[in-house]
Structure 1
Amino acid sequence: MTALNSGRVVATFGKHCLVQADQAIVDCVSRGRKADIACGDAVEFKLTSPGHGVVERVQPRRNLLYRSDPFKIKYFAANLDQVLVVTAVEPGLNENLINRCLVAAQAAGIPACIVLNKADLPQTQELHAYLKAYEAIGYPVILVSAKRDVTPLLPRLIGKTSVLIGPSGVGKSTLVNALVPEADVRTAEISRALNAGRHTTTHTRLYELPQGGALIDSPGMQEFGLHHLDLAGLQAAFPEFHRLIGQCRFYNCRHLKEPDCAITAAAATGAILPERLRAYQVLVEERLAAEQLHK
C-alpha cells in the first residue's frame, strides 16, 4: 500500500491543486468529479509519479470561505485567521460587493477588516471617513498605499493566515507584490507547475510572508453569491442587527416591508447604516427568489 504524504494546498485551479510538502511542490488532482479543495487546506495525498499526486483526504477545516449561486459553490480559502476585503476610490467603492464579502466572513466565523488601498489619491480621505461607519460595526479599516506604504497592514499579518478578496482594479496584485517581495517569482513557479497552457490568472494562491504568516490572493470578482445562507444565517451575519432582533412587531419579521420593524426603523434614523440594511434586503430577496425556483 502506497504511503500517504501530508501537505498544504498553496494554489488551486479547477480539479488541480499544488500541494507544498516540506520543500517540494506537488501537482495534484482531487478524487471524484467535484473540485472540493480550497487554498490553505491541509491534505493527505498519494504520489503517482515524481512531482504528481492525488489528494486522498482533506483534513478537518477550522473554517472555509466560499461563495455560491443556485448551481455551484466556489471556494476561496480554508483555515483562515482573517479576511481582508480590499477596496479603493478608483475604480470606485463597490459597497454591495464589500458587504457580501463581510457577510461571508461573518457567516464562516472569520474576523474581517477593510483594506482601503490607494491612500495617495486625494479622494481617499473622503471615502475613509465614510467607511468609519463600518469600524463602528466591528470591521477595522486600514489605510494603505500598495505603491508607497503598506506598513499599517503589517502588524495584522504577522503569524496569521489571511486572504485578500475584492473586485478587479483595486490594486490587490500590487499589494501582494509589496507584501511578498518574491511574489512574481512564486507566481511564475506556480504557472509552470500548473502548465503554461492553462489560464493561471484565475487561480487562488498562497504566499508565505517574510515576517511569518501566509497571504492568500484570490482572483478579482464582480459577483459574490451567498445562496448557501438561509434567512436566519443572513440575519446572524449582520452583527448590528443582533440587539434589535426580537423587537419587531412580528416574531417572524424578515425586515423587508413589514410594519413596525425595529431594524428598518433603526436604518431610518441612521442608527444602522441604510446601505447595510439594503444589502441585507437584496440578499433576502435573492434567497426567496431561489426558493421559488426550486419549488
Structure 2
Amino acid sequence: MDATPPITAAAAPPAPRSLHRFANPGRFLRASGRVLPWLSAAAAGVLAAGVAWALAFSPPDWQQGETVRIMYVHVPMAWLAMGGYLALALASAAALVWRHPLADLLARELSPVGAVVTALCLATGSLWGRPMWGTWWVWDARLTSVLVLFFLWLGHAALVRAFDEPERGARAGAILALIGVVNLPIVKFSVDWWNTLHQPASVTRLGAPAMHVEMLYPLLVCALGFALAFAALVLARTRAAVMERRIRALELARARREERGMAA
C-alpha cells in the first residue's frame, strides 16, 4: 500500500481521468521509473549527435564566422526558457483548479531547472552579442524581457520554499507563475513590436526559415536533445521529491505510533 494518502479538496472540481491516474504517488513512481532510463538515454544520444553535427559538420556563417556556433546552445535555451515556463503555468493551473498533488511538486522542481536554462540563455546571448554588437549587454526589449523571465523563475523557486506550510508556498508560487505568463508574448514578439538590436525570428516565423538547412537541421537536433534532457532532469527531480515526501510521511506516522505507545 502507498504510505502517502492522496490529497483531495472538496471544493475543487474533478480532475480529468488522465490527471487522476498519476495522483497516486506509487503509480507515478512506477511509471516514471520505467520512462526515465529511456528518456535519459534518448537525451544523451540525440544531444551527442546534435552537438557533434553542430560543432564539426555545420558550416560557419558568412558574416558571423565561427561565433555562430553559440546559436546551437543559445536558441534551444531560449526555447526551453519559454516552453518550460508555459509548462510551469499549466502545472500551477492544475494545482490551483484541481488541487492535483503532483502538479505542485512538478512546479516546485521545474523552477530551479528553468532558472538555470534561462541563465544559460542570457549568458550565451551575452557571449554572442559581444562580437556581433560590440557590447555584452544592452537594455534591448528582447534581452530585458528574458531577464524578467529569469527573475520570475527565481521568484517562483524562492516563493514556494519561503513558507513553513508547503501548501501556502505552492499556492503563492502558482499565482506568481500564472501572472508571469503575460511576459511570454512580450519575449516572443518583442523583436516585432519594437526596434531592437536582437534579430527577428529566423526559425519559427510563418514563412520559410531564414537559415540554411545545413545550420537549421543540427539546430533542431540540438534543440530536441536539450528538450529531452530538460524533461529527464525535471522528471528525476519530481521523482526524488515524491520519494522524499513519502519518507517524511512514513517518519511522521512512525513518530505518532511511538507517541501513542508511550502514552499507553
* Band the TM-score falls in, shorter-chain normalisation: under 0.3
TM-score, structure 2 as length reference: 0.27
Query: More helix by proportion, 1 or 2?
Result: 2
